[in-house]
Structure 1
Amino acid sequence: MRMRRKGELPEKLCPVCKRSFAWRRKWARVWDEVRYCSERCRQSKRNGRQKSVARNSAALSR
């Protein structure tokens, strides 16, 4: 992959916290499979605690 500026990197939207996250080098081979912005969001989706994480992230963004 050629060098790009941070603003030019591909982005996705996390289905749990609704925040956008950008491509990372460690995800280069699996970018199509990446769905969550963090391990915390991935675990909360699996455990059914989606609403509490979304509320907490909304409170933090204010």
Structure 2
Amino acid sequence: MKGIKKQDLPEKNCVVCGRPFTWRKKWEKVWDEVKYCSEKCRRTK
């Protein structure tokens, strides 16, 4: 993902709140499994 502009990063919608969130470096290896935009939404399931 090096050299990619922020606007070109992959994006998903949170399954709880429906807000879009973009790819983060810490999710690089688990991006397919990420469902929630934040810890709060993950706890709310």
Structure with the larger RCO, 1 or 2 (CA within 8 Å, 6+ apart): 2
Q: Which has more radius of gyration?
A: 1
Question: Cα offset for 1:42?
Answer: 0.5
- In the alignment, structure 2 segments of 5+ residues that lack a partner are none
Q: Which residue of 2 aligns with 1:30?
A: 30
TM-score, normalised with respect to structure 1 = 0.69
- In the alignment, structure 1 segments of 5+ residues that lack a partner are 46-62
- Give aligned-pair identity as a percent: 60
- Which of the two has greater helix per residue? 1
Q: Secondary structure at the match of 1:12?
A: strand
| Over 3 Å off, 4+ runs | none
Aligned residues: 45
Give the CA RMSD over aligned residues: 0.7
